[in-house]
């Protein structure tokens, strides 16, 4: 969800307003994706490198996460959405950690739609986390065994990865899970990303012939 800051700066607004607008876009995107019966959606909200931003921006983002949980708690439950957290939340304020755990617990059994929020997430950290867990494993490590040691083993491989904001890199996001992802880059800044842009990304994906290394 890249481009919140630039969106705000272009409008001579504080960066925080870009993140607020980004949250609104996220709500709409969840709604569209849900209606399209896509069953899994993962979003990159806060990378492990984002701590290097000014304190005030980090604080604003953490406050926004708490507000987002408070405002959407009932929506997630009513729509049978299962909430997953990808990342290490131990550095987050205790109140936010509690809200995240509570939301995970309440939605654990839902299976209509799976929403994965990557927060304090870094793919290399996730891979090291899995490797560390498997240190004492004596038998050969297969892909299945490795996958089970990751943050959320249930998270399926990524089919379509969308990056907004014009950059053409993965920035340490779901590197293992995106091994065969179709990648769609767009210059649209995240707060401006709308249904038409989503439809364009989905038709880009529809046109792909996915061979997974085979000839046909
Ligand atoms: C990257 O844009 C975006 C983020 C670091 C934060 C993403 C957060 C949201 C979309 C809102 C909150 C979401 C939840 C789930 C509560 P950037 O700030 O790096 O933009 P820039 O590259 O234009 O500076």
Residue 107 — very low, low, confident or very high, per pLDDT cuts 50/70/90?
A: very high
Alpha helices in the chain (DSSP H): 4-10, 15-35, 55-78, 94-107, 123-133, 143-148, 195-206
Residue 179 — very low, low, confident or very high, per pLDDT cuts 50/70/90?
A: very high
Q: What is d(CA 4, CA 22) in angstroms, rounded to the nearest whole number?
A: 6
What distance in angstroms lies between residue 191's CA and the mean position of ligand 1's atoms? Answer: 9
The 10s digit of each residue's pLDDT in 76-93 is: 999 999 999 999 999 999
Residue 216 — very low, low, confident or very high, per pLDDT cuts 50/70/90?
A: confident
The 10s digit of each residue's pLDDT in 17-40 is: 999 999 999 999 999 999 999 999
Total-model pTM: 0.95
Domains annotated for the chain, with CATH where assigned, are 4-206 (3.40.1180.10)
Percent of the chain past pLDDT 90, that is, above it, reads 94
Phi-psi domain of 213 (left: phi exceeds 0; alpha: psi -120 through 50; beta: other): left
Q: What is d(CA 165, CA 189) in angstroms, rounded to the nearest whole number?
A: 4
Residues identified as active-site = 2, 50
163 C-beta closer than 6 A to ligand 1: no
DSSP secondary structure letters along 133-194 = HTTT--SPPPHHHHHHTSS-TTPPPPSEEEE-SS--S-TTSSTTTTTT-EEEE--S-GGG--
For atom 3 of ligand 1, which residue has the closest CA? 2
């Amino acid at each position: 969800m890249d481009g919140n800051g630039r969106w705000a700066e272009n409008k001579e607004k504080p960066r925080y307003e870009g993140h607020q607008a980004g949250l609104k876009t996220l709500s709409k995107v969840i709604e569209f994706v849900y209606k399209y019966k896509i069953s899994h959606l993962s979003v990159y909200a806060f990378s492990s490198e984002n701590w290097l931003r000014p304190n005030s921006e980090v604080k604003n983002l953490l406050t926004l996460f708490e507000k987002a949980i408070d405002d959407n708690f009932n929506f997630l439950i009513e729509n049978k959405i299962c909430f997953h957290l990808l990342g290490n939340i131990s550095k987050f304020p205790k109140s936010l950690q509690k809200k995240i755990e509570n939301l995970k617990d309440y939605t654990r059994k839902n299976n209509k739609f799976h929403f994965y929020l990557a927060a304090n997430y870094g793919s290399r950290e996730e891979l090291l986390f899995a490797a560390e867990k498997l240190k004492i494993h004596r038998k050969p490590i297969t892909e299945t065994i490795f996958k089970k040691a990751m943050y959320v083993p249930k998270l399926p491989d990524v089919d379509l990865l969308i990056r907004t904001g014009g950059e053409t890199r993965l920035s340490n996001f779901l590197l293992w899970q995106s091994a065969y992802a179709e990648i769609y880059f767009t210059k649209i800044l995240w707060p401006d990303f709308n249904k038409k842009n989503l439809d364009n990304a989905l038709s880009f994906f529809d046109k792909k012939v996915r061979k997974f290394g085979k000839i046909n």
